[in-house]
Amino acid sequence: MLTRLLKASVLTSFAFFSLNATQFDVQAQKDKKELVKYFEAKFQDPYKNKNTFFPYSPEEELKDGYEKGLKHMDFGIGSYSYAKDAKEQYEAIKEFPPYEDKIEDGEELYTKEFANGNSLKTCFPDPTIGGDYPYFDTNRKEVISLTTAINECLESNNEKKWNAKKGKMATFQAFLAYSTAEAQKKMNIKIPTKEAQEAYERGKEYYYTQRGYLKLSCATCHIQGAGQRVRNEKLSPLLGQITHFPVYRLKWGGLGTLERRMSGCVKDQGQVPPKNDSKQMHELLYFMAYMSNDMPIDGPDVRK
């Protein structure tokens, strides 16, 4: 009887605890659900849904240029999930991915000893963490990105910080992304506290805020605009937009981090991007990553 009672009380306190632990992401879960619903409806049949989603696109292109019937997980490869012509090129490049040797280089960086005998492996004993960042650090009460965590590891071991955008940083992250993908792990972002919820909300606000002369927000292009053609590329969707970083861009002739890609994107609009290790950048990434929760990590990847 006593053990039964004990068991029951352990169970109820566990239920209470888990209820408590998840309540801060109620809104975020709702946001994500709506986003999935929006993209599935939009790419169910772009031609048929022209009036709702693509009023200004040429009919020919809507008829022939898009994959149809897309579901949540299909969006993991960005605009290649629906852009038919670009997808063919993408698949051809992926047969001999230009980043392949970088994964080994990244693994070397992982175990290479610092002057004090430690290594990145000391800070990150498990390399399959690509889906766990950015995370909300409940002690420091702030969001920490993967790039910032790596640089903090270097600095706390008296090593020099790395450039957040390319070089060793991108190479090492390629190894982490690859290890995470190999382990078949998914984007797994948590919102554990009230402060975390507020950080998420600020990131979301940044994403939806219109800026600059043209009054563009990230959402203008990557939600409402997703699928539309800008110059010779179709715009990628927020959903699944950051599951595949770092990427090898043909334009760069090398690997770059998510920070590099995003800063470039913001600059293209004539605006000043948030600094790589700023609160604004961290919280923006936190929101974006949450929107891709439950989607498999599939980096590194290639882009034009």
Q: Which residues participate in the annotated binding site for heme c?
A: 123, 153, 218, 221-222, 265
Q: How far is the CB of 284 from ligand HEC (least distance, A)?
A: 6
**Interaction residues for ligand HEC, span 189-218 (CB under 6 A):** 216, 218
CB of 77 to ligand HEC, least distance (A): 8
Q: For residue 214, how many other CB atoms are within 10 A of its CB? A: 10
Q: Which of 262, 281, 295, 297 binds ligand HEC (CB under 6 A)?
A: 262
Cβ proximity to ligand HEC, 109 vs 266, nearer residue: 266
Nearer to ligand HEC, 83 or 109 (CB): 83
Per-residue binding letters, 16-35, with ligand HEC (x by CB under 6 A) = --------------------
Distance separating alpha carbons of residues 154 and 112, to the nearest angstrom: 12
Residue 60 exposed, middle or buried by CB count within 10 Å (0-12, 13-18, 19+): exposed
Hey, which residues between 138 and 157 contact ligand HEC (CB under 6 A)? none
Q: Which of 147, 144, 238, 223 is nearest to 189 (CA)?
A: 144
- Of 83, 189, 247, 289, the one binding ligand HEC by CB under 6 A: 247
Determine which residue in the list 15, 41, 230, 250 makes contact with ligand HEC, applying CB under 6 A: 230
The answer to whether the CB of 292 falls within 8 A of the CB of 243 is yes
CB of residue 288 to ligand HEC, shortest distance in Å: 6
Q: Least Å distance between CB 10 and ligand HEC?
A: 44
DSSP secondary structure string, the chain? -HHHHHHHHHHHHHHHHHHHHHGGGHHHHHHHHHHHHHHHHHTT-TTTTHHHH-TTS-HHHHHHSB--S--GGGGGGGGGGTBHHHHHHHHHHHHS-TTHHHHHHHHHHHHPPPTTS--HHHH-S-S--TTS-SEEETTTTEEE-HHHHHHHHHHHTTPPPPPSSSTHHHHHHHHHHHHHHHTT-B------SHHHHHHHHHHHHHHH--BTTTTB-HHIIIIITTTSEETTEEPPPSTTTTSS-SEEETTTTEEE-HHHHHHHHHHHTT-PPPPTTSHHHHHHHHHHHHHTTTSBP--SEEE-
Binding residues with ligand HEC: total (CB under 6 A): 20
- Please state the closest distance from residue 304 (CB atom) to ligand HEC, in A: 8
Tell which one of 235, 289, 291, 295 touches ligand HEC (CB under 6 A).
235
Binding track, positions 70-89, relative to ligand HEC; x by CB under 6 A: --------xx----------
* Smaller CB separation from ligand HEC, 106 or 246: 246
Q: Could you give the residue numbers annotated as active site?
A: 265
Residue ranges for the known binding site for substrate are 261
Stretch that binds ligand HEC, among 27-35, 156-164, 172-180, 231-239 (CB under 6 A): 231-239
Please select the residue that binds ligand HEC; options are 32, 186, 282, 303, rule is CB under 6 A: 303
Q: Are 24 and 196 in contact (CB under 8 A)?
A: yes
Backbone angles phi, psi at 95, to 5 degrees: -65, -35
Q: Which is nearer to ligand HEC, 62 or 83 (CB)?
A: 83
Stretch that binds ligand HEC, among 18-26, 36-44, 110-118, 229-237 (CB under 6 A): 229-237
Question: Which chain residues interact with ligand HEC by CB under 6 A?
Answer: 78-79, 216, 218, 220-222, 230, 233, 235-236, 241-242, 247, 261-262, 265-266, 269, 303
